[in-house]
Amino acid sequence: MPFVVRRLLAVAPTILVVATVTFIALQIIPGDIAQIMLGTDARPEDVTRLRRELGLNRPLAVRYVEWLGNLLRGDLGTSITYREPVGRLIVARLPVTYSVAFAAMLVAIGIALPLGIAAARRAWSPLDLTALVGSQLGLAVPTFWMGILLLLGFAAALPIFPLQGYVGFTRDPVQWLRHLALPAIALGVERAAALTRMVRASVLEELTRDYVRTARSKGLREPSVLRRHVLRNALIPVLTVMGLQLGFLLGGTIVVEQVFGLPGLGRLLLQGIYSRDLVVVQGAVITIAVTFALLNLLVDLLYAAVDPRITYD
Amino acid sequence: MSRQERQNLNTRWPRSVTLLLVAALLVVGAPAGAQSPRDRLVFALSGGPDTLDPHGTAATLAFMVMKSLYDTLVEPDDEGKMLPGLAESWTVSPDGITWTFKLRAGVRFHHGKTLDATDVKATLERILDPATRSPRRLQIGPIRSVEVMDPLAVRIVLTERFAPLLAALAEGWGAILPADLIARKHEFGTRPVGTGPFTLAEWQRDSFIRLQRFDGYWIKGQPRLREVFIRFVPERAVKVAGLLSGEFDAIDGIDPDDLPRVRANPDIKVITQVTSLVNVVAVNNSRGPLRDVRVRRALWHAIDRKQVLKTAYGTESIPSAVFMDVTSPFWVDVGDPYPFDPERARRLLSEAGHSGGLTLDLALPQPFQVHIEAGQLVQAMLAKVGITARPRVVEFGFWLSRVFGGGEYDLTVIGHTGKLDPEGRLTGWGDPARNYIRYENQKAADLIHAGRITANPEHRRRIYAEALKLMTEDAMFVILGTPVRYVGTNRNVKDFRQLYAVDTYDFRKTSK
């Protein structure tokens, strides 16, 4: 069986486990959707009636099997609070979250690659030390705080970027970019910090290898040594980390979407958890899990592109 | 400069130019002025609606938007008196069972249909239908049947007398929908159709909603605005920054901490609105020492209620010692029955056999920072009389289920939202199985029931006054009072109005 097909098949059980864990987790955390919908006006009789009408008094196992059956048919269910099919809610939000995560990744790579390589080439120089200290700082600053600072600085005090919201790419590419800029920076900088250290360490290690000495003694110029020999080898571990980072970024969008008022998957997930809307939470979690699995597959395929010694059959 | 470096520079140059171009594009794409046009209001609200189906939610944030899309048969004025809405007039039979509403002629729905009695009948039946799963089904009243008398007259027959019927019909969930679309199972949740002053132009969930003037609105000359753009901004710092920078014309719910900064700006006007809330330190009457009225009274004496109220909820907040908002016509003045007096609190505690001190659990709901702050003040005050309050901050969903629903707490701090009619606030009190503090007093419960079925307003007022006094006598929980809400608008915004007790915004007369 081809590698890609095998990997795709392996995703299915992962999703089942994720779905089941989410289902159980939401049963364990206290809070009941009927009680939350009715708020502080709720009388016990209202809660009982609404629970019955929402079908929440049926046994847990029945509801789980029913939901799973629907999932297999590709139906994620209908949200109780939103009164809309969850599939529709998610499809509307995916472009937002993917755009933010992707843009943040670009910011992270854009900072980390040149900085990491430069730092490794001049290890322990003032530039390297600055990069090290900077990345430590970048890791320490919470995305949330960074986001608020960026907003107050570049959207409120200096109204260069929009304060809140999102505009789709197809609607207006310039506005799309403007709305993404600050969230991508807020989210990307933290990842860049982690990635810079990784790139630096990886490049530094490769630079001491024998083949580098051989390449240099052949008379190859330094940029060529770097590009054709060092980076190819150094990028393998970096790629792995980048794949994982994208997972982090998908999680990180929850915070950024809240701060920048972006109507993405993260905000939907958060609202779903607050209101204990099980189908919304499951739909969002499964979407994130599938995305993550596919990204990892993509990273595996990229290995082969970077390193011709790696092949999949 | 070596050849290599020059080459590098050459290859890098176009890249920096590209970057510059992108940056320029981003800046150029910014709107010319932060101010929006005169007939467009940009309003920042802390959250958005879950659905735009008025019968599918109980969320205040949803009704804040829906007020502009739908109308109700009757509407409250600023004092809570009922005014004609879609109903021009109404009569009630002497036994209080049959209500007849005469509808306004010539009212049009957004899709063109003219309002008639069948719409009212279909709407009320939709709310009562269990398949609609309306969270507010029981609040609409004990309706037996709805009959169409003629195209503009409709009769509602009750199973028992129900004085708060008008108030129930005036709440957001009493919104009238068109019968033809109800029959076709139209999805009102995402494509609302009502008779309201605005129509839905665009809704990006959790981001913004754009409302457009409905030119066929039944009040001539209203609404004055062409467009209302409501942006949902969860972060309070961002909301305030947007108001100050002019990006938002109005924002709701300014935190007392942010007030000095907002007030310092001459372009901003801060409107102080007395809410219909009653904020309390709730006491679980079924828990150990708290069953003893002396202990509950000791809590009142131990807590400087005025200070907690003004520090945590804003200096203009109004103290009260009864479980009714101070703006309600049903509010009664009982003075300060248990004044702040730690010495007396200690004495009462020792009389009740707790001279050695007392340890109580104090549940505080997240994300309500004001309640958490109030709780911290309460904790410090209780410590001075020998009561150790152990605060625990809990997520609101958890709070609703375990604290409010499950009664797993000793003390908690919360605000009770008001209703147009005292029934909405008081039903269930006195019956320990039907209120979250497990307060038991049969006489209070009987009085509240009597209020529900008494039509004469003067009699009702007396009945409720007696019930409220009884509840305070029992010191069922520590009542702080009614907090204010700070709304900020640009100085040029006029008639920014919020409906009494319903807490929704009415943009019909708003202009800027």
How many Å apart are CA B309 and CA B354, to the nearest integer? 27
**A176–chain B nearest CA distance, Å:** 10
Q: What backbone torsions phi and psi does residue B53 show, to the nearest 5 degrees?
A: -90, 110
Residue pair B44/B233 in contact (Cβ under 8 Å)? The answer is: yes
Secondary structure class of B360 (helix, strand, coil): strand
pLDDT category at B189 given cuts 50, 70, 90 is very high
Pairing of strands B98-103, B153-158: antiparallel
Tell me the pLDDT of chain B averaged across its residues. 90
pLDDT category at A313 given cuts 50, 70, 90 is low
pLDDT given for residue A245 in this prediction: 81
Which of A41, A54, A171 is best to mutate for the B interface (most B CBs within 10 A)? A41
pLDDT given for residue B139 in this prediction: 82
Tell me the residue type at A98: Y
pLDDT category at A137 given cuts 50, 70, 90 is confident
C-beta atoms of B235 and A50 within 8 A: no
A94 at the B interface (CB within 8 A)? Answer: no
pLDDT at B2 over 70: no
How many Å apart are CA B214 and CA B154, to the nearest integer? 26
Which of B207, B236, B414, B438 is best to mutate for the A interface (most A CBs within 10 A)? B207
How many Å apart are CA B257 and CA B255, to the nearest integer? 5
Q: How many CB pairs under 8 A join A and B?
A: 167
Closest CA to A81 of A48, A132, A37: A37
pLDDT category at B490 given cuts 50, 70, 90 is very high
Which of B46, B206, B368 is best to mutate for the A interface (most A CBs within 10 A)? B206
pLDDT at B1 over 60: no
Residue B323 vs residues A282, B208, B293, B468, B472: alpha-carbon distances, Å = 41, 36, 17, 6, 8
Q: Which of A46, A82, A274 sits opposite B397 (nearest CB)?
A: A274
A175-212: pLDDT as tens digits: 999 999 999 999 999 889 888 988 999 998 888 888 88
Residue pair B278/B418 in contact (Cβ under 8 Å)? The answer is: yes
Contacts of A276 in chain B (CB under 8 A): 397
Contacts of A274 in chain B (CB under 8 A): 395-397
B394-449: pLDDT as tens digits: 999 889 988 998 899 999 999 998 788 898 889 889 999 899 999 999 999 999 99
pLDDT at B277 over 60: yes
pLDDT at B177 over 70: yes
pLDDT given for residue B178 in this prediction: 98
pLDDT given for residue B5 in this prediction: 43
For B64, residues 6+ apart whose C-beta sits below 8 A from its C-beta are B45, B49, B503, B504, B505
pLDDT at B462 over 50: yes
pLDDT category at B28 given cuts 50, 70, 90 is low
**B173–chain A nearest CA distance, Å:** 13
Among B130-144, B238-252, B377-391, B459-473, whose mean pLDDT is lowest? B130-144
Contacts of A258 in chain B (CB under 8 A): 234-235
* Residue whose pair of structure tokens reads 């109507």 in the numeric block: A263
pLDDT given for residue B210 in this prediction: 97
Average pLDDT over residues A111-133: 89
Closest CA to A79 of B319, B448, B55, B51: B51
Tell me the pLDDT of chain A averaged across its residues. 87
How many Å apart are CA B332 and CA B321, to the nearest integer? 9
C-beta atoms of A36 and B247 within 8 A: no
pLDDT given for residue A94 in this prediction: 93
C-beta atoms of A165 and B207 within 8 A: yes
C-beta atoms of A44 and B245 within 8 A: no
Among B36-40, B244-248, B490-494, whose mean pLDDT is lowest? B36-40
Neighbours of A38 (CB within 10 A): 21
* Residue whose pair of structure tokens reads 């011709």 in the numeric block: A308
C-beta atoms of A263 and B414 within 8 A: no
Q: Fill in the DSSP letter of residue B27.
A: H
pLDDT category at B281 given cuts 50, 70, 90 is very high
Residue pair B251/B242 in contact (Cβ under 8 Å)? The answer is: yes
pLDDT given for residue B26 in this prediction: 59
A211-266: pLDDT as tens digits: 888 888 888 888 888 888 888 888 888 888 888 788 788 888 888 998 998 999 99
For B9, residues 6+ apart whose C-beta sits below 8 A from its C-beta are B1
Closest Cα in chain B to A166 = B207
C-beta atoms of B51 and A165 within 8 A: no
Contacts of A275 in chain B (CB under 8 A): 50, 397
Closest CA to B64 of B262, B232, B314, B271: B232
Residue pair B322/B332 in contact (Cβ under 8 Å)? The answer is: yes
Residue pair A146/A190 in contact (Cβ under 8 Å)? The answer is: yes
Secondary structure class of A198 (helix, strand, coil): helix
**A51–chain B nearest CA distance, Å:** 10
DSSP track, A22-46: HHHHHHHSS--HHHHHHGGG--HHH
How many Å apart are CA B186 and CA B338, to the nearest integer? 55
Among A288-292, B194-198, B262-266, B381-385, whose mean pLDDT is lowest? A288-292
Q: What backbone torsions phi and psi does residue B359 show, to the nearest 5 degrees?
A: -115, 125
Average pLDDT over residues B58-71: 92
- As to burial, measured by CB atoms within 10 angstroms (0-12 exposed, 13-18 middle, 19+ buried), residue B285 is buried
Regarding predicted confidence, which is higher, A309 or A162? Answer: A162
Residue pair B167/B82 in contact (Cβ under 8 Å)? The answer is: yes
Q: What percent of chain B has pLDDT over 70?
A: 93
Contacts of B395 in chain A (CB under 8 A): 31, 274
C-beta atoms of B58 and A38 within 8 A: yes
B140-170: pLDDT as tens digits: 889 999 999 999 999 999 999 998 999 999 9
**A295–chain B nearest CA distance, Å:** 27
Task: Record the pTM.
Answer: 0.86
Regarding predicted confidence, which is higher, B284 or B235? Answer: B284
pLDDT given for residue B345 in this prediction: 96
Regarding predicted confidence, which is higher, A110 or A295? Answer: A110
Q: Which of A30, A49, A82 sits opposite B50 (nearest CB)?
A: A82
pLDDT given for residue B18 in this prediction: 62
Q: Is ipTM beyond 0.85?
A: no
C-beta atoms of B247 and A163 within 8 A: yes
How many Å apart are CA B45 and CA B314, to the nearest integer? 20
Contacts of A268 in chain B (CB under 8 A): 205-206
